[in-house]
């Protein structure tokens, strides 16, 4: 039965949803009294009792939970948005979605949900992913990529520090490297690379290590005919992603030179060469066209001689603005 939108009812539905971590116990809404629905909506609906459809399959329940988690964690625009359409494709993907949904619910403080419950869900997902890897015949598909990518932020969500698990990030990069050059590049795979390359770059810089995505095929980064490619936004986003992937090595070379001093001049030469190539990663015409569409408010605190910042650095702002699913602030314990 279709029921008109009702703020109070929605809050009660959300409350019921929040307090039922087990899919088998999920009740969307059932048996609201007439006075609960008629309050403020007498002219819109005159029935006696409203009933929502109770999901009859675990897949439908998982889709509902995935969509709700996307909304709550404010990541509707990231690669996670593809997931509801693929629920039911493979056990590894479904179990990985369940594990991350449970982690997000635990992070929000859902009653009766413990960290032990989350790690039990993670263990099931890991076994399913390992089975999928063994069955992939060295040609991992997008479902395996997505399953692995879902495990990367799990620890950071449960511990509320936003730090992705290095082992899973490296595993994702290894799966991409295992693909043949003829394997088709999809928008899902590209979005997964874009998100995780940027996330892992921050930790790689802190740990003075190169990005695990350095050897990833340029087809997953380059601006071509996939999605919104061809636009200035897609072009600058591709440049920003490449900067994130290559910047950690520059910092690693500079730190190596600082530690070794005059005894190691090769790192300095390599750093200068890499720095020049990174400085070339910009498209000033695309920046100017995009800036014409953006209304920038002036601030009295900015100096008049403040140098312009390449627009592709806005990609860093987008990355650091991720919500709870990657942690509001990454930290290293």
Q: What are the residues facing 30 on neighbouring strands?
A: 51
Give residue 54's pLDDT.
54
| Inter-residue contact 274 to 253 (CB < 8 Å) | yes
| Inter-residue contact 212 to 169 (CB < 8 Å) | yes
Orientation of helix 232-260 relative to helix 284-291, angle to 10°: 120
Burial class from Cβ neighbours inside 10 Å (0-12, 13-18, 19+) for residue 73 reads: buried
Instruction: Output the six-digit token pair for 98.
Output: 């369940």
Burial class from Cβ neighbours inside 10 Å (0-12, 13-18, 19+) for residue 274 reads: middle
Q: Say how far apart CA 113 and CA 139 lie, in whole Å.
A: 37
CA angle 142, 147, 150 (to 5 degrees): 120
Query: Which long-range contacts (C-beta less than 8 Å, at least 24 apart) are formed by 36-40?
Result: 36/8, 36/9, 36/12, 37/3, 37/6, 37/9, 39/8, 40/6
SS3 content of the chain, % helix, strand, coil (to 5): 60, 0, 40
Q: Residue 231, SS3?
A: strand
Cα radius of gyration (the chain): 23
pLDDT of 31-61, one tens digit each? 333 333 344 444 444 455 555 545 557 888 8
C-alpha distances (whole Å) from 43 to each of 34, 35, 36, 37, 137 are: 13, 13, 14, 11, 61
Q: How many residues does the chain have?
A: 333
The answer for residues whose C-beta is within 8 angstroms of residue 149's C-beta and 6 or more apart is: 79, 168, 172, 192, 195, 196
Q: Residue 191, SS3?
A: helix
Q: Is the pTM of this model over 0.85?
A: no
- Report CA dihedral (64, 66, 67, 68) to the nearest 10 degrees: 80
Where the chain has pLDDT below 50, the residues are: 1-46, 53, 225-229, 306-324, 326-333
Which of 196, 167, 208, 233 lies closest to 325, judged by CA? 196
Orientation of helix 266-279 relative to helix 232-260, angle to 10°: 170
Q: Residue 246, SS3?
A: helix
Which of 2, 15, 11 lies closest to 44, judged by CA? 2
Q: Say how far apart CA 150 and CA 83 lie, in whole Å.
A: 10
Q: Say how far apart CA 13 and CA 231 lie, in whole Å.
A: 41
């Amino acid at each position: 039965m279709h029921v008109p939108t009702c703020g109070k009812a929605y809050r009660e539905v959300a409350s019921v949803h929040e307090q039922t971590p087990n899919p088998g116990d999920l009740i969307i809404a059932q048996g609201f009294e007439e006075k609960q629905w008629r309050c403020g909506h007498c002219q819109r609906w005159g029935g006696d009792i409203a009933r929502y459809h109770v999901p009859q399959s675990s897949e439908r329940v998982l889709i509902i939970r995935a969509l709700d988690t996307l909304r709550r964690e404010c990541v509707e625009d990231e690669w996670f948005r593809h997931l509801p359409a693929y629920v039911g494709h493979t056990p590894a993907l479904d179990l990985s979605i369940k594990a991350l949904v449970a982690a997000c619910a635990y992070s929000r403080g859902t009653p009766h949900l413990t960290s032990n419950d989350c790690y039990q869900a993670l263990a099931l997902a890991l076994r399913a992913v390992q089975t999928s890897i063994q069955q992939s015949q060295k040609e991992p598909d997008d479902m395996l990529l997505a399953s692995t990518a879902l495990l990367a932020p799990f620890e950071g969500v449960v511990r509320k520090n936003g730090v992705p698990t290095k082992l899973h990030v490296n595993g994702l990069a290894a799966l991409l490297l295992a693909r043949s050059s003829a394997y088709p590049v999809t928008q899902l795979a590209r979005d997964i690379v874009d998100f995780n390359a940027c996330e892992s770059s921050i930790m790689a810089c802190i740990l003075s290590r190169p990005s695990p995505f350095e050897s990833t095929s340029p087809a997953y980064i380059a601006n071509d005919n996939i999605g919104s490619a061809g636009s200035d936004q897609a072009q600058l986003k591709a440049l920003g992603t490449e900067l994130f992937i290559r910047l950690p090595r520059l910092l690693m070379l500079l730190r190596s030179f600082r530690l070794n001093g005059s005894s190691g001049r090769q790192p300095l030469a390599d750093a200068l060469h890499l720095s020049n190539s990174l400085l070339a990663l910009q498209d000033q015409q695309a920046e100017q066209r995009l800036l014409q569409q953006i209304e920038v408010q002036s601030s009295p605190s900015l100096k008049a001689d403040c140098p312009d910042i390449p627009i592709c650095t806005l990609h860093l702002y987008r990355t650091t603005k991720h919500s709870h699913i990657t942690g509001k602030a990454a930290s290293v314990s």
